[in-house]
Amino acid sequence: MAANDAALEALLVNVTGQIARVFCAGTKTGLVVPGASRAGIEAVLSSAVEPGDRVLVGAFGHFGELLCTLASRHGAVVERLDADWGIPVDARELAAAIRASRPKLVAVVHADTSTGIVQPLETIGQACNESGALFVVDAVLSLGGCELRVDDWGIDAAVGGMQKCLGGPPGLALLAVSERLLATVRARRTPPRSAYLDLHRISRQPAAAASTSMLFAAHAALGMIEAEGLQARWARHQVAGRAVAAGLQAMGLQLFGDRDHAAPMITLVRVPDGISEPGVREQLLAEHGVEIMAAFGPLRGKVWRIGCMGVNARLTSVLHVLGALEAVLTTQGWQVRRGAGVDAARSASLDSEATAAVDPNRPA
Ligand SMILES: Cc1ncc(COP(=O)(O)O)c(C=O)c1O
């Protein structure tokens, strides 16, 4: 489908409005950056950071490392507060570090796909706002899958992607950006090193920076979220995530990570002793058409990651994956009562549909 200038402008206005609503970011500017989601993160960091600026990263997984890499590539002096993989960063400790060291910018991943952990953000946002630091959040996994409130949580820039809980094609980063961050970009002493990812250019000429085909895709994906309702969408992911966890546990498998901060949209489960980690993934794909993921870094070979995002965050998909996993594990010698996983997942889904922990009184 082609789009003339006026139609493109109208589409862009529509999409940026949708971004503001789906990020719960009514006071922010919605922007798009063509490319992988990390192009959006790099646009924010490379535009807001000048060489020598201090950036504090709260890191608890692979994508926290990415924030450190991107910030340092663009000349930041990176300070970091790390948490072990499997738990979030201690938000109060990070808030204290922000107040004590007053960095220019603080960057955190909201939900890290490598560990399946969600980072509480509100306390960190308060500390940033009090100390004048810009607060940048990677919401690539969390957007559309769990509660994310950019305005309420004091976030200056949040970056989402299309291919996770939006269920869209990869190729466009979605951004909600504060005026405070854009003013910082405008006030730079030197232009950013990247011309393509310059947020000043992107915010001044959004149509020139847009990719028309991806805008149509974003419009459709965000529109599906709005039609479903943001709260309902978060709740659906939560119900599906609980069902996956219950099913895996009923099969005698051990979940990885702090369950109080578990992301509903991806569940990490330990590979039992004596079972081939790649062998199970390969057999699942070949025999059942189900793809689960290997892990990154220190978890590689030790856990599987089971994604349950977008259209797949529903009982049908959960039961399909668990039934297939049970069949494959059984052929590999794992002892499990037939049907234990799907039975538990089904019950958990019915139980948690009633109690999905999204506050129904808060407007999305
Ligand atoms: C939390 C998180 N941040 C950033 C990214 C990078 O996204 P992309 O590969 O689209 O650049 C991913 C991708 O998996 C992710 O899960």
- Judge whether residue 357 has pLDDT over 70: no
The residue ranking higher by pLDDT, 13 or 358, is 13
Residue 338 CA to ligand 1 center (angstroms) comes to 36
pTM: 0.96
Average pLDDT along the chain: 95
Read off the pLDDT of residues 247-288 as tens digits, 9 standing for 90 and up: 999 999 999 999 999 999 999 999 999 999 999 999 999 999
Q: Which amino acid is at 220?
A: A
* pLDDT per position as a tens digit, 218-251: 999 999 999 999 999 999 999 999 999 999 999 9
Residue 196 pLDDT > 90: yes
pLDDT at residue 3 tops 70: no
Using a 6 Å cutoff on CB, does residue 109 contact ligand 1? yes
- The contacts of residue 220 (CB under 8 Å, 6+ apart) are 168
Question: From the CA of 265, how far away is ligand 1's center (Å)?
Answer: 14
Which protein residue's CA is at the shortest distance from atom 12 of ligand 1?
140
Structure tokens that stand for 150 in this block = 């950019």
Of 115, 140, 163, 164, best ligand 1 pocket probe by most atoms within 8 Å of the beta carbon: 140
How far is 140 from 44, CA to CA, in rounded Å?
Answer: 14
Which candidate, 148, 163, 190, 222, places its Cα nearest to that of 40? 163
For the Cβ of 141 lying below 6 angstroms from any atom of ligand 1, the answer is: yes
- Whether 119 lines ligand 1, by a CB cut-off of 6 Å, is no
pLDDT, mean of residues 177-181: 98
pLDDT at 140: 98
Pocket test for ligand 1, best of 113, 146, 148, 268 (most atoms within 8 A of CB): 113
Out of 118-127, 213-222, 355-364, pick the least confident: 355-364
Q: Is 113 touching ligand 1 by the criterion CB < 6 Å?
A: yes
What is d(CA 43, CA 152) in angstroms, rounded to the nearest whole number?
23
85 Cβ inside 6 Å of ligand 1: no
Question: Does ligand 1 lie within 6 Å of residue 65's CB atom?
Answer: no
Q: Which atom belonging to ligand 1 lies closest to the Cα atom of 170?
A: 10
